Structure 1
Amino acid sequence: MAKRDEYSARHLSVLEGLEAVRKRPGMYIGSTGSQGLMHCLWEIIDNSVDEALAGHASTIAITLHPDDSVEVSDDGRGIPVDVEPRTGLSGLEVVFTKLHAGGKFGGGSYNAVGGLHGVGASVVNALSARLDATVTRGGKVHQMSFRRGEPGTFAGAKPTDPFTAAEKGSPLLAAGRAKRGVTGTTVRYWADRDIFSPEAQFMEDELVNRARQTAFLVPGLRITIEDRRGAETSEQVFQYDGGISEFVDHLATDGPVTGIWRIQGHGSFSERIPVDGQMTDVERDCEVDIALRWGVGYDTTVKSFVNIISTPKGGSHLTGFEQAMVKVLRKVVEANARRLKAGNDKLEKDDVLAGLTAVVTVRIAEPQFEGQTKEVLGTPAAKQIVNRVVSTELEKRLTSTKRAEKQEAAAVLEKVVAEMKSRIAARQHKETQRRKNALENSSMPAKLVECRNKDVESSELFIVEGDSALGTAKLARSSDFQALLPIRGKILNVQKASVADMLSNTECAALLQVIGAGSGRSFDLEAARYGKVILMTDADVDGAHIRTLLLTLFFRYMRPMIEAGRVFAAVPPLHRVEVIHSGRKANEVRYTYSEAELVTLLAELEKKGLRYKEPIQRYKGLGEMDADQLSETTMDPEHRSLRRIRAEDAEAAERVFELLMGSVVAPRKEFIIEGAAALDREKIDA
């Protein structure tokens, strides 16, 4: 038996071919969970997209099959099937079995692509229980199958069917003839569940978003997604001719300050790369295409891409874009400081990017990515080229003498200067607040009923609908840690209103002041004066509307409170049932919180032979309860129920708020008409 500390050459392992991929899959696809499963799919899809980018494909079809397989088909040129001279294998087998092999290493087949490392298809093949590749090319249909990266033939159509490995040569099968001029590639594979975790699954929402995004980035490309996994087959089609301008219009959710500006340009740079074993200087071209617009909001949405591959963590191209934006706007603001009343203060990046929606794309042959997952562009020259293009074109736009462009430029300058002033004022206010203790703060609204405890974590602020409910709530609350703020009627719909309108609204301003953490970008969660904010409204249509208006205010101007899980909705009871007991035993009061719960309770009482007082009391307002009832059912932490308000998907929540509360009426009307058929009129509380 060898000693534990013995270490010699025979202890070294040499992983060859695709064995390394199966041994260390995380190195190639990031993880073996759902994200890794999706990454494999992106690798196959990106190969088809590269054909479209090169002008050889116009359609891509993605199909999710019920047997856990996925299929990607395109009408590109088709993977070469002739023999590759150095290996003696067909091009199709080389692509799917050899790491760092493909047509994207400077052979002239592609100028700007997403798949660059030559490992995508082969890695997917290595991690698949079965992969079938079908190529239509030269009037023929060719087919090849693989099992965990090894070529061969299956006895049937399932990955579990008997498999015979190819002994020698390429097992390329002739599957038929094709019409003249018809070409393309179809890849269907079954992920190896011995590699991927059991809970890993294809995420349809992520696939849809990626397909839509790709269709925006490659104008005219038609992408279809067909999901056959459910009881009914669903199909979605994406095709856009407007390019990234249409993409920006899709991403933007707030009202416009400017139209969509398009910035385009290119540059060249020299790069030293190995060619035939020697370091050689080669000339590269970098094309820059950017679409952007400023909106009335303060949220920033900037998406960056390299050869249509998303770089969610940015990189050199995004750095160049942001630096140019700040540099140019600083220069123009300084030149117009007197008119804009900007003083001597300098713009910062957050001021410039507030309310900006932009799509930044560059196309480079053989870009350098940091890692196989391609989340960060590393090509240094992209920074200087993007910076130069944006600086030149943006300055022209901001100093243009054309009437329409001049008006938009003035609106942008006013917006960024206003953001700068707001940031400086917020910082000064924060510094002032730090110098004061809680007793020295500016006076709170007179209607605030404060609690005695100053411990933020344990304190609660109840926002109460109406003064009548306030009177009951005062008696029902625990004055140690529960504060009350009444609001009168329906507050301002801030999704439609401007910031100035919101701040001038009495109810909105009082709420911001009481929470004490600012608003918008300057909101400081640590400065919030209460650990929980609880919306306590009546259990009727008006109460639901008021709660929605309050949530709109929180989502738009105090979103960190929602993201931190500190906003709740109280759950007052709907019914009070007094159960009659015979003899000296006192009657029992039971509360129910829904119609279904009431029906269940009444059936239970009937089964036990118990009677109850009629009519059953139906609470429509908080003011109908006495203090003991309100405390027991809605405010006492030991007995109450609270619904935590969450916005897990901020982008989806943004779309819902804009649909339901925004200023554009037509989509909301269409939504109401479509949902009318599903409405149960019996449940309308009116």
Structure 2
Amino acid sequence: MAAPKTRKPADTDDLFSIAASPKPAAKAGKPASTKAAKGDGTYSAKDIEVLEGLEPVRRRPGMYIGGTDEKALHHLFAEVLDNSMDEAVAGHANWIEVTFDEDGSLTVADNGRGIPVDPHPKFKNKSALEVILTTLHSGGKFGGKAYETSGGLHGVGVSVVNALSDRFEVEVARDQTLYTQSYVRGAPTGKLADKGRVHNRRGTRITFHPDPEIFGKGARFIPKRLYKMARSKAYLFGGVEIRWSCAASLIGDDTPQSEVLHFPGGLVDYLKASLQGYDTVTADAFTGKVSKAGSHGSVEWAISWFGGGDGFLHSYCNTVPTTEGGTHEAGLRAALVKGLKAYGDMVGNRKAGQIQADDVLGTAGAMLSVFIREPEFQGQTKEKLSSPEAQRLVEKAIGDHFDHWLTAAPLQANKLLDWVIDRADERLRRRQEKDVARKSATRKLRLPGKLADCSQSAADGSEIFIVEGDSAGGSAKQARDRASQAILPLRGKILNVASASGAKLAQNQQISDLIQALGVRTGSHYREADLRYDKVIIMTDADVDGAHIASLLITFFYRELPELIRQGHLYMAAPPLYKLTQGGKTLYARDDAHKDELLDKEFSGKGKVEVSRFKGLGEMMPAQLKETTMARGKRTLLRVVVPADEAKETGIAIERLMGGKPELRFQFIQEHAAFARDLDI
């Protein structure tokens, strides 16, 4: 339910960094000695470590796939699938097979041209296949000759998948001949093998198994996530058929065991499936495709406005999801806003001038896909498009079509314009209400006595930390920014609202204090303008007890203040569990895995590393709490979200885990006990 909000401290060391000891300054009047004593921390050429081949990937996987967590694990699949999709988009393949086997290995096959196997001009003793699989930044997508557009161009490439797999096997059917080669942790186990003639086969088949040394022994792909990734690719290119298959023993939900994914309608089909069950504002969706946009590019879109839910915008570049948005989304927003303003001006509606992008897209379901040559992204995992040309390309392509779409159906266009203006009026009303001084509103509130409020009057930029107990509350009050951060200590564990009666809920003092501090009313009486803080942050100990308290609080917000979550106000702090010290160097670890990683990578040389575990937030010094958990720019916050496509599943899960039927919890424990690890009891 939680999504990262602020970035973690960056790892600024590069591959050639070493831990150099500080040298004492030379005394005044005397030249510094050029003769080094033995063991005095000298720094010379022999100290420079050069990582060759795929060694850098295994040493620091985070630099290439963003970490070693579940998201990074599934990024391996995305890299291999992107290569097959590039073949399909280029017109060389029309089917892709994705097979998740019982042993945890994943196979991706296509009927494309097959990776070249002839000797590489620069590496006479290696095939092009081996060069691609063992050399970073190699492939046929950089010069623009083999592919006009590519999803794998900015990716870390299949070589990184090879490096991070304890087993990697490739089959290439090319020129009616089958070739195979196997690898272990990035190293070939033998030469490329010629398996003889195959007359009815072409393409590439890759089977890999993630290395538990990198991702942990319990790491495994999630069938539902793999299936959704494959399905989204099929939606993005109607010319490909993706054949999904998964071992039955690996499926524990409604994910299909096998399915042929083929959507000739592309994004139009995608949007229809996403908006199933919603009433739309206009009878027709705004859809279109421009195949020759710019010198080398294409734009496809599908947009519909609906009531009864939160809007969404799913964007892609060369079939790669851009979850952080980027320049192509900016082009879409600009085109829609300019188009509606121009139409409003044409029909004499003066209120159209106040329209902003959030008014247009706040209740819209939007799909956007662009194909451009040599796209530029921020970060190796390609989550934000930064190519300036994408904004111009999208704004021009969509803008022209949107103008025609509006003028061609005036009744529909007027209905949409009125709908968007209503959203703009509501936004302006909320802003005016929030601009009212909080201090004057505070006088009307009966605030709880334990609340240490902040001094600023505006809600924007202010935060309230909900902490467990007076001890943690005392440290937090000293560590906070008094101008913008408030602290509310709660005594013990709050009431489980999922299993409590309405009368018991109304009589609970802790929940009453929390609601009064926030300044809002619950359920359908909630008003965004009444919320006294921009961020509501749950800050509990980094242990099982703290996790239980956090789950109780999240359940309260989900049941009683769901709109607060939908508006993006609820967060969880991420305090460290360990402090690691060696000499003058101190680092903090969020969990056992992070501790082991820091011990292995950040502490070297002589000297004992002191590892101390924080039993609770109250045990931390205020300066430590501020540095690690509360200070903006240094902390990590997790935003609590309920994805629109998982709202039903979330409600069922909360009822099962937190509701009044213990037999449902017992059933859940029986089903998942085998997967539990790193228990902190």
Q: TM-score range by the shorter chain?
A: 0.5 to 0.7
Pairs aligned (count): 483
Match of 2:81 in 1: 45
Q: 2:340 aligns with which of 318, 329, 352?
A: 329
Q: 1:375 aligns with which of 383, 398, 410?
A: 383
CA contact (8 A) 1:525 1:561 kept: no
CA contact (8 A) 1:517 1:525 kept: no
- When residues 514 and 98 of structure 1 are mapped into structure 2, their CA distance, relative to the original with a 3 A threshold, is closer
Offset of residue 115 of structure 1: 0.6
- When residues 285 and 525 of structure 1 are mapped into structure 2, their CA distance, relative to the original with a 3 A threshold, is farther
Match of 1:587 in 2: none
CA contact (8 A) 1:552 1:657 kept: no
Question: Is the counterpart of residue 225 in structure 1 residue 261 in structure 2?
Answer: no
Offset of residue 26 of structure 1: 1.5
Question: Is the counterpart of residue 115 in structure 1 residue 152 in structure 2?
Answer: yes
Question: Is the counterpart of residue 650 in structure 1 residue 628 in structure 2?
Answer: no
Match of 2:298 in 1: 287
1:376 alignment partner AA: K
Q: Deviations over 1:411-440 (max 9, x none)?
A: 110111001111122222334474744676
CA contact (8 A) 1:215 1:239 kept: yes
Match of 2:227 in 1: 208
- When residues 523 and 320 of structure 1 are mapped into structure 2, their CA distance, relative to the original with a 3 A threshold, is farther
Identity %: 32
Offset of residue 359 of structure 1: 1.1
Counterpart CA distance in 2 for 1:426 and 1:72 is: 50
Offset of residue 44 of structure 1: 0.9
Question: Is the counterpart of residue 359 in structure 1 residue 367 in structure 2?
Answer: yes
Q: Report matched runs for 1:29-44 at 5 Å.
A: 29-44=65-80
Q: 1:342 aligns with which of 332, 338, 351?
A: 351
- When residues 429 and 137 of structure 1 are mapped into structure 2, their CA distance, relative to the original with a 3 A threshold, is same
Offset of residue 177 of structure 1: 2.9
Q: 1:526 aligns with which of 530, 533, 540?
A: 533
Match of 2:317 in 1: 306
SS at match of 1:67: coil
Counterpart CA distance in 2 for 1:21 and 1:527 is: 40
1:406 alignment partner AA: P
2:279 alignment partner AA: G
Offset of residue 96 of structure 1: 1.0
Match of 2:137 in 1: 100
Offset of residue 46 of structure 1: 0.9
Match of 1:429 in 2: 433
CA contact (8 A) 2:174 2:202 kept: yes
Match of 1:257 in 2: 281
1:142 alignment partner AA: Y
Q: 1:315 aligns with which of 326, 335, 359?
A: 326
Counterpart CA distance in 1 for 2:504 and 2:55 is: 69
- When residues 564 and 15 of structure 1 are mapped into structure 2, their CA distance, relative to the original with a 3 A threshold, is closer
Counterpart CA distance in 1 for 2:206 and 2:386 is: 31
Counterpart CA distance in 2 for 1:367 and 1:224 is: 28
2:391 alignment partner AA: K
CA contact (8 A) 2:89 2:237 kept: yes
SS at match of 2:109: strand
Offset of residue 125 of structure 1: 1.2
SS at match of 1:110: coil
Higher relative contact order (CA 8 A, sep 6+): 2
SS at match of 2:303: strand
Counterpart CA distance in 1 for 2:507 and 2:206 is: 65
Offset of residue 216 of structure 1: 0.3
Counterpart CA distance in 1 for 2:163 and 2:511 is: 60
SS at match of 1:255: coil
Counterpart CA distance in 2 for 1:430 and 1:19 is: 54
Offset of residue 656 of structure 1: 5.6
CA contact (8 A) 1:56 1:77 kept: yes
Offset of residue 312 of structure 1: 0.7
CA contact (8 A) 1:25 1:31 kept: yes
- When residues 177 and 553 of structure 1 are mapped into structure 2, their CA distance, relative to the original with a 3 A threshold, is farther
Question: Is the counterpart of residue 399 in structure 1 residue 407 in structure 2?
Answer: yes
RMSD: 4.1
1:359 alignment partner AA: M
- When residues 242 and 657 of structure 1 are mapped into structure 2, their CA distance, relative to the original with a 3 A threshold, is farther
Match of 2:605 in 1: none
SS at match of 1:194: helix
- Select between 137-146 and 188-197 the one with higher mean Cα deviation: 188-197
- Select between 32-41 and 417-426 the one with higher mean Cα deviation: 32-41
Q: 1:152 aligns with which of 173, 181, 189?
A: 189
Match of 1:54 in 2: 90
Offset of residue 323 of structure 1: 2.0
Larger radius of gyration: 1
Match of 1:240 in 2: 263
CA contact (8 A) 2:154 2:382 kept: no
CA contact (8 A) 1:320 1:384 kept: yes
TM-score by structure 1 length? 0.62
Counterpart CA distance in 2 for 1:414 and 1:426 is: 18
Offset of residue 473 of structure 1: 7.2
Question: Where does the alignment leave 5 or more consecutive residues of structure 1 unmatched?
Answer: 154-170, 270-283, 442-450, 486-510, 532-547, 566-645, 660-686
CA contact (8 A) 2:565 2:640 kept: no
Offset of residue 28 of structure 1: 1.1
Match of 2:199 in 1: 179
Q: 1:13 aligns with which of 15, 33, 49?
A: 49
CA contact (8 A) 1:21 1:126 kept: yes
CA contact (8 A) 1:554 1:562 kept: no
Counterpart CA distance in 2 for 1:241 and 1:433 is: 55
Counterpart CA distance in 2 for 1:36 and 1:255 is: 37
Counterpart CA distance in 2 for 1:223 and 1:60 is: 5
Counterpart CA distance in 1 for 2:118 and 2:509 is: 83
Offset of residue 194 of structure 1: 2.0
1:324 alignment partner AA: A
Counterpart CA distance in 2 for 1:145 and 1:301 is: 43
- When residues 528 and 191 of structure 1 are mapped into structure 2, their CA distance, relative to the original with a 3 A threshold, is closer
1:342 alignment partner AA: K
CA contact (8 A) 2:94 2:240 kept: yes
- When residues 455 and 353 of structure 1 are mapped into structure 2, their CA distance, relative to the original with a 3 A threshold, is farther
Counterpart CA distance in 1 for 2:162 and 2:496 is: 58
Offset of residue 56 of structure 1: 1.8
1:380 alignment partner AA: P
Q: Report matched runs for 1:581-660 at 5 Å.
A: 649-655=642-648
Counterpart CA distance in 2 for 1:196 and 1:658 is: 31
Match of 1:279 in 2: none
